[in-house]
């Protein structure tokens, strides 16, 4: 059992007060490094900053533990979404914690950082026997995880990864997350004066609209399809020569997502061709799906750690991506666990002192293998 809510809340508030937009995580990095150094933990920063054009790299630290126990990796991301400049945590008398409502709170993911650091601090200061622990704090997670994708995962000894980055009640853990593919179709027609010679034009917007009409959006089974943006046209008196349509597809079966993307591409090209236009279709794989079996060791350990903290574990599917999609692609077995963040990516974001304590306690139980 760990205690000292005040120290945890103070740490959380200090982390929130550091500016940490994606690509500029220096301030929060300095705070995290100083906390870990004060516990005698050395921190390495990798070269991701140069590779992604940011000012800060991913952080890695290793804490030796009982070699007879399996090592584990704990991870949270350093960056926050906008608006974030000058964010400040407001601790209300009932324990609710919000921002001043002109920025996000940044519990996504300061709640994860604070839970991990506080749990590690308690384990070290109490001298409790514990698993070997590796820490990875990545940059630019909010920009499609570009930071973690530059991380050298070959240095990791752990097989099990806990990513603290799910919203909602503490105790929730995402064991399955989707593949996400973005696509972009550029319809290329021909401009003409809309009054003098419309018959000479090839109308890119009308063709894009016809193609869009043939695509079913929304949820089909486990897969979702969206058309997210359409842009094109020059002026009211010009037949539009170009129109760009973008969207995304998510699903738990990577092959199905790839097939659906190709099907959409084929449909768009065939409508363009029928109308005498061209269509450049391209896709970007954002991440690949993962599934961690519910009877796997990590799920059983997580459930045990929750129960010891008096929290009901709940295993969920998420339609959101996280760094665990990448850990999974590299062969690690991971869970994305909640750490006390709610209404994320909005100025209404909130957490509570009690939820942060429960989150830190679960992490403490995971590290100590439920001892102590
Ligand atoms: Zn996050």
**How many angstroms separate the Cα of 272 from the Cα of each of 106, 122, 187, 206, 243?**
44, 63, 7, 10, 11
Query: For the segment 333-362, what is each residue's pLDDT rounded down to a tens digit?
Result: 999 999 999 999 999 999 999 999 999 999
Q: Residue 184 pLDDT more than 70?
A: yes
Spacing, Cα 323 to ligand 1 middle (Å): 9
Task: Please give the distance, rounded to the nearest whole angstrom, from the Cα atom of residue 98 to the centre of ligand 1.
Answer: 17
Alpha carbon of 237 to ligand 1 centroid (Å):
46
- 317 strand-pairing partners: 176
Fold of 5-177+289-367: Aminopeptidase (3.40.630)
Per-residue tokens: 351? 């957490």
Q: How many CB atoms lie within 10 A of CB 73?
A: 23
Tell which residue, 21, 108, 142, has the closest CA to residue 349: 108
Q: How far is the CA of 64 from the centre of ligand 1 (A)?
A: 27
Ligand 1 center–CA 152 separation, angstroms = 21
Show the tokens assigned to 138. Answer: 């990545």
- Model confidence over 39-88: pLDDT tens digits? 999 999 999 999 999 999 999 999 999 999 999 999 999 999 999 999 99
Decide if pLDDT at 1 tops 70. no
pLDDT digits 0-9 by tens, 207-231: 999 999 999 999 999 999 999 999 9
Give the Å distance between the CA of 289 and the centre of ligand 1: 17
End-to-end CA distance of the chain: 7
Q: Report CA(185)–ligand 1 centroid distance (Å).
A: 29
CA-CA-CA-CA dihedral for 352, 356, 361, 363, to nearest 10: 150
The two three-digit tokens of residue 255, written as one number: 């092959």
Q: pLDDT category, 116, cuts 50, 70, 90? A: very high
Distance CA 141, CA 325 (A): 12
Q: How far is 295 from 274, CA to CA, in rounded Å?
A: 52
pLDDT confidence of 4, banded at 50, 70, 90?
A: confident
256 CA distance to ligand 1 centroid (A)? 26
Tokens of 292: 């961690």
Q: Are 175 and 294 in contact (CB under 8 A)?
A: yes
Q: What CATH number was assigned to the domain covering residues 179-287? A: 3.30.70.360
Instruction: Give pLDDT tens digits for 291-311.
Output: 999 999 999 999 999 999 999
CB 278 within 8 A of CB 244: no
Q: Is the pLDDT of residue 275 over 90?
A: yes
- Spell out the domain ranges in the chain: 5-177+289-367, 179-287
CA distance 343 to 48: 29
- Find the 80 Cα to ligand 1 centroid distance in Å: 7
Instruction: Measure 108 CA to ligand 1 centroid, in angstroms.
Output: 5
DSSP summary character for residue 183: E
Answer for the pair 186, 246: CB distance below 8 angstroms, yes or no.
no
- C-alpha 107 – ligand 1 centre gap (Å): 8
User: Has residue 195 got a pLDDT over 70?
Assistant: yes
* Residue 21, pLDDT above cutoff 60: yes
- The CA 112 to ligand 1 mean position distance, Å, reads 9
What CA–CA distances, in Å, run from 76 to 216, 320, 357?
36, 15, 17
């Amino acid at each position: 059992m760990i205690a000292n809510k005040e120290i945890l809340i103070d740490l959380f508030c200090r982390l929130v007060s550091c500016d940490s937009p994606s690509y500029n995580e220096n301030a929060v990095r300095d705070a995290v490094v100083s906390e870990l150094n004060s516990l005698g933990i050395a921190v390495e920063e990798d070269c991701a900053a140069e590779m992604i054009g940011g000012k800060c790299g991913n952080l890695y630290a290793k804490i030796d533990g009982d070699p007879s126990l399996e090592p584990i990796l704990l991870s949270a991301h350093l960056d926050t979404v906008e608006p974030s400049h000058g964010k400040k945590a407001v601790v209300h008398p009932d324990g609710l914690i919000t921002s001043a409502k002109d920025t996000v709170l940044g519990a996504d993911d300061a709640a994860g950082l604070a839970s991990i650091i506080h749990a590690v601090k308690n384990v070290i200061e109490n001298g409790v026997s514990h698993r070997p622990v590796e820490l990875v704090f990545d940059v630019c997670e909010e920009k499609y995880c570009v930071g973690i994708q530059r991380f050298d995962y070959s240095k990791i000894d752990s097989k099990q990864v806990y990513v603290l980055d799910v919203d909602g009640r503490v105790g929730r853990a995402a064991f399955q997350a989707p593949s996400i593919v973005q696509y972009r179709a550029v319809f290329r027609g021909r401009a003409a004066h809309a009054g003098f010679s419309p018959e000479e034009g090839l109308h890119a917007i009308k063709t894009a609209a016809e193609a869009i009409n043939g695509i079913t959006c929304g949820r089909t089974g486990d897969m979702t399809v969206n058309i997210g943006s359409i842009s094109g046209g020059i002026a009211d008196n010009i037949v539009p020569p170009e129109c760009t349509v973008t969207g995304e597809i998510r699903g738990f079966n990577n092959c199905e997502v790839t097939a659906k993307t190709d099907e959409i591409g084929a449909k768009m090209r065939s409508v363009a061709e029928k109308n005498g236009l061209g269509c450049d279709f391209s896709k970007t794989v954002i991440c690949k799906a993962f599934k961690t079996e519910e009877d796997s060791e990590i799920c059983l350990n997580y459930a045990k750690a929750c129960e010891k903290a008096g929290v009901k574990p709940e295993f969920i599917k998420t339609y959101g991506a996280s760094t665990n999609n990448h850990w999974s692609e590299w062969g690690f077995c991971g869970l994305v666990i909640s750490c006390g963040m709610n209404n994320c990516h909005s100025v209404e974001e909130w957490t509570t002192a009690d939820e942060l304590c429960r989150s830190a306690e679960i992490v403490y139980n995971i590290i100590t293998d439920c001892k102590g």
